[in-house]
Copies of this chain bind each other. A is one copy, B any other.
Amino acid sequence: MIAKSMVNYVKGSSVIRAMFEEGKRMAALYGAENVYDFSLGNPSVQPPAAVKEAIVDILENEDETYVHGYMSNAGYEDVRAAIAESLNKKHGTSFSEKNILMTVGAAGGLNVVFKTILDPGDEVITFSPFFGEYRNYVANYNGVLVEVPPTDDFMPEEESFRAAFSEKTKAVIINNPNNPTGVVYSEDTIKMIAKVMEEKEAEYNKAIYLVADEPYRELVYDGAEVVYLTKYYKDTIVGYSYSKSLSLPGERIGYLVMPDEIDDFENVVAAAAVANRILGFVNAPSLIQRAVAKCTEAEVDVEIYNKNRELLYKSLIDMGYECIKPQGAFYLFVKAMGGDDKAFVAKAKEFNLLLVPGSTFGGPGYARIAYCVDYDMIVRALPAFEKLAACYK
């Protein structure tokens, strides 16, 4: 008696989440130290001390009915102003609180965006491989996700991007730094995307929004730069989350940036606030809204992830695995030995290694390894990776 649209979801469920549950089951069975769960992007690095200090400070010094109460659906004005100011300082932008809408994480924010802009049948373009939930977020509003095929280096390529557009294109969504590949788009790549989109806006004589999904913005290595997209393309909406930068994924806190210059600004902002309400979010959680406003300068210790990255990348390459060295986020997207990612992931499980098949991300032939885990677990897991590779020799 569940909805027809939910039947296949229940059958398939989320492969990633199923892995997460499987990991807990296996840990109970074999002992947590003997299961190597690389399946979920659940940060292993402690939140910065500033978060706890902020929460305690707020509880001690602010009025409780205010701290835990309703505010405008878009969020507390002072919180939004603090975030706007912090963005302006970092990126030389000129946002104010009216450009910021506080959301229930980036997932909540993306749903708000698609509810706001998508009519049934509207198309949203993304580059494969991509965060698999985009399929669902677009389908929630009867939109259609159009996948641009991947390139060898996972960098967007102009010709195939251009070919993905149609009269029904309403938005392009990009994830930079990228989940699952860990690549960071160069400024030239962003300029290419902006150029093509401007041409397509002119060709179809309508706005096409660039939705920038940026939960991994602060997690970059080797000095990689993540350019701020609103400066390159007028009709950009940014979705941000504190899940990774402050290690608060369970708290469901993030925001949307809707610059003044986007097409139909007043209506988009008004509709987004309504969407936040009627989708059942109502508002981003209140106490943690107030807390993140006090932590605009705080960041998790990225060096911990970097150490994981260096160890895992070098070890895997030495063992004969093939993958691009990630410059951002906390994922390695490794070629599935034998070519079939589902078979490879199933084989990995025999060695208590939990990975996610690339086809979940529109990237068959690969597997994703989330290295937001304890360094020691990586060390303990290396023999298992070795044994897995040996199966294919």
Which A residues form the contact surface with B (CB < 8 A)? 1-7, 9-10, 13-14, 17, 20-21, 40, 42-47, 51-52, 55-56, 59, 64-65, 67-73, 104-105, 107-112, 115-119, 133, 136-137, 140-141, 206-207, 209, 247-253, 263-264, 267-268, 270-271, 274-275, 277-289
Q: A3-B116, A252-B285 are in contact. List 20 more A-B contacts (CB 8 A).
A: A1-B268, A10-B271, A13-B274, A17-B73, A21-B72, A51-B68, A69-B247, A70-B250, A104-B104, A107-B282, A108-B282, A109-B280, A111-B280, A249-B282, A250-B285, A250-B287, A251-B286, A252-B252, A252-B286, A280-B281
In the complex, the answer to whether A10 meets B270 with C-beta atoms within 8 Å is: yes
Given contacts A40-B70, A68-B249, contact A17 B277 (CB under 8 A): yes
Shortest Cβ distance from residue A256 to the other chain B in the assembled complex, whole angstroms: 12
From B55, B117, B249, B280, give the contact of A279 (CB < 8 A): B280
Integer count of this chain's copies in the complex = 2
10 A-B residue pairs with Cβ-Cβ distance under 8 Å, sorted by A, are A1-B209, A43-B69, A56-B59, A104-B252, A105-B280, A108-B280, A109-B280, A137-B280, A140-B278, A252-B283
A274, B14: Cβ atoms under 8 Å? yes
Q: Which A-B residue pairs are the 6 nearest by beta carbons?
A: A250-B286, A111-B280, A136-B278, A107-B280, A6-B271, A108-B280
Task: Give the CA-CA distance A40 to B73 in the complex, in Å.
Answer: 13
Q: Which B residue sits closest to A285, measured CB to CB?
A: B285
A13, B270: Cβ atoms closer than 8 Å: yes
Residues of B within 8 A of A44 (CB): 65
Is the beta-carbon distance between B281 and A281 smaller than 8 angstroms?
A: yes
Does B247 contact A65, Cβ atoms closer than 8 Å?
yes
Q: Which residues on B sit within 8 Å (CB–CB) of A1?
A: 117, 206-207, 209, 263-264, 267-268
Q: Which residues of B contact A283 (CB under 8 A)?
A: 250, 252
Inter-chain CA distance A275–B351, complex, in Å, is: 32
